[in-house]
Amino acid sequence: MNLRAIGCNVASASVELREKLAFNDEKARRALTELNARFDAEAVVVGTCNRVEIYVARQDTVAALHAPLMAEFLSEVHGVPADAILPHLYEHADADAAKHLFRVAAGLDSVVLGEGQIAGQVKDAYESAHKATATGPLLNALFPSALRVSKRVRTETGIGQGHVSVSSAAVDFVRQVFDTFTDKTVLVIGAGKMGRLTLKHLAEEHPAAILVTNRNADKAAAVAADCGGTVVPWAQLDDALVRADIVLSTTGAPEPIMPARRFDEKVRRSRAGRPLVVFDMAVPRDFDPAIHDGDAVSVFNVDDLAREADRCLGERRRHLPAAEQIIDTEVSKFVEDWNRRANGPVIGQLTAEIDKLRAALLEPMLGKLNGKLTAADKSLIEGTFRLFQNKLLHGPIAALSEASREGHSGSLRDALRKLFRLNNG
């Protein structure tokens, strides 16, 4: 195969450079068209917030599209000097390119190990290129395989389990207390960024209601509008805490807004033992830690969430060897299957060519000996010629099969075409 994966990611290029090389839909369409026309190559452009990659494939094995050529191409597309791009590009060829894509799709090459969204982004990139008729036989086999492998990795390992950010780890804590979210009320206190991020993850669980309160009524209204929540006046904070099942607090107040004594007198008694989970994400803290009783009321701070995120990430790392083994197995299978498929036309042409040559030599000879041979003699001669043909073909075909397993049958196919004067069909 003649496959290249060329690009940059968060490990090789700054965010400033990645922003300059980012593809919007229109630039991606024009780039795909140009890659097809200028280089006679299949192409897919994969872009996320952490990477920009171009996957290109050609039918021949002579001319490859290397990083310097892609740096020039990216320079033309984005107006960034090529010498500012090239040092930050990585390049993977053939089996290594397939492995890179499989790892990307499975979330093994992400900033957050096991990132689940990247598979969808790879799928969207491939479907866009396919719709634009920019893909061909190799990429049409490669990308669906990558998506299938990604699903297998996530199904057969724990690489995607748990939440590995401070904001999303809150969902794991809540699941330890509640079996379902759809009958729960979330109370948001304040308008801090971390609280909003956490609310986003909790909102994806479809709670029954979201209440928002803030000393600043306009800020409360803005948060409520973003999440479809209901504004509660700041003066009704105690009542809102009685109603809530889950609390996100990020006020930035210089001292606790909810002392233990006030909570015990105004809130705890009215809740009648109903479970409450409080995420106090403010620094300094909004809720007195003494409110936590380890039974009906649980209070978690930012450090608790960070430890949970680290624990989940450590658990994901434990599954990394199993995920890498799946990737290696699937890459070997893909390369062997692809090379076997690519070998088929050459083997067919070679067999037909030798078969034609055998017939061209055998038929005149049998014609001259017509009437001088018994049926058994004729059968023996024909069988001998056929056995010679099979032995002659065994070496090249076996060598192609061996090269396919090793992932470099392309050059051997080209050599056979030249040696036996086969066409490229």
Binding-site residues from annotation: 48-51, 110, 115-117, 121, 190-195
Q: Tell me if 234 sits within 8 A of 264, measured CB to CB.
A: no
Residue 352: C-alpha distances to residues 321, 345, 349, 385, 393 (Å):
46, 10, 5, 15, 11
The verdict on whether omega for the bond into residue 284 sits within 30 degrees of 0, i.e. cis, is yes
Q: Tell me if 72 sits within 8 A of 89, measured CB to CB.
A: no
Q: Which residue(s) pair with 301 in the sheet?
A: 280
Binding residue positions for substrate: 48-51, 110, 115-117, 121
Q: Which residue(s) pair with 247 in the sheet?
A: 187, 278
Catalytic (active-site) positions: 49
Cα separation of 118 and 95, whole Å? 21
Q: Tell me if 299 sits within 8 A of 271, measured CB to CB.
A: no
Which residue's structure tokens are 């106090």?
280
Q: Which amino acid is at 398?
A: A
Which residue's structure tokens are 């042409």?
349
3-class secondary-structure state, position 9 = strand
Question: DSSP H helical segments within 45-158, as ranges?
Answer: 67-78, 82-85, 95-105, 117-131, 137-156
Q: Tell me if 249 sits within 8 A of 189, measured CB to CB.
A: yes
Binding residue positions for NADP(+): 190-195
Q: Tell me if 186 sits within 8 A of 202, measured CB to CB.
A: yes
3-class secondary-structure state, position 29 = helix
DSSP string across 158-172: STT-S--SHHHHHHH
